Amino acid sequence: MKEPTINTGGGATVGENVTAGLDFVGRDKVGAQVFVDNLEKLARWLGIAAVLAVALWSTAYFLTTLRIQAETRQIEARKPFLEKQLALYTEATQAAAVLATTTDEAELTAARNRFWALYWGELAMVENGGVSASAGGVESAMMAYGRCLKQACEQTELQRLALNLAHACRDSLAVSWGVTDWQAPVYTP
């Protein structure tokens, strides 16, 4: 009787010992298992990468939120000062404008009194030097206006100094409020 043969696919035939054929099938199973193992490793690494990406994004979001909250708190803390500065600058420029433009004695007296009250008191709390008015800021502009007022300057000189004071106040507010649009515009013909 003839021995049964099994074709292993590799061109060789094996007798009753079927292990060679199973070896070929076993290699396919081993290859499939390696593939599955590699997929599992890849899935684990992708999972770790996703967790790290979410952690990094969450940390960046948290830090950005903290920074925005700190900036908001800083603005809120500065708000009373900025509002007071704006109000006092407005009063100073109004008093200077009245002194430079009116001839009504009652208005002149009231404006002069308010100007000197601002000069010697409240305005000194909020004015910042070094901004405009020849780099002396509001303080320098107020001093120049005060000198002229004491020396009874011509009204045209008071008008020029009133404009300088208003411009110094505007530039100071631009710096204080962080709004560069308020600074002296550059005119181009």
Nearest Cα to 142, choosing from 165, 172, 160, 173? 165
pLDDT score recorded for residue 56? 94
| C-beta separation of 127 from 172 below 8 A | yes
Q: What is the pLDDT of residue 25?
A: 52
Please give the single-letter amino acid code of residue 172.
Answer: S
Region for residue 134 given its phi and psi (left: phi exceeds 0; alpha: psi -120 to 50; beta: otherwise): left
Paired with 13 in beta bridges are 7
* Both tokens assigned to 183: 């600074």
What distance in Å separates the CA atoms of residue 97 and residue 100, rounded to the nearest whole number? 5
Predicted pLDDT of residue 31: 75
Give me the average pLDDT of each 10-residue run along the chain (189 residues): 54 50 58 83 91 93 93 86 92 95 93 95 79 66 93 91 92 82 60
State the burial class of residue 130 (Cβ atoms within 10 Å of its Cβ: 0-12, 13-18, 19+). middle
State the pLDDT at residue 97. 95
pLDDT value at residue 115? 95
The token pair that represents 91 in the structure block: 């009063």
Alpha helices in the chain (DSSP H): 19-101, 105-117, 123-126, 137-150, 155-177
The reported pLDDT for the residue numbered 36 is: 83
Contacts of 174 (CB under 8 A, 6+ apart): 131, 180, 181, 182, 183
Map out the domains of the chain as residue ranges: 77-182
pTM for the predicted model, two decimal places: 0.61
Helix axes of 105-117 and 137-150: crossing angle, nearest 10 degrees: 140
Pull the structure tokens for residue 179. Answer: 């709004």
Contact by Cβ (8 Å): 165, 137: no
Classify 189 as helix, strand or coil: coil
pLDDT at residue 132 in the model: 46
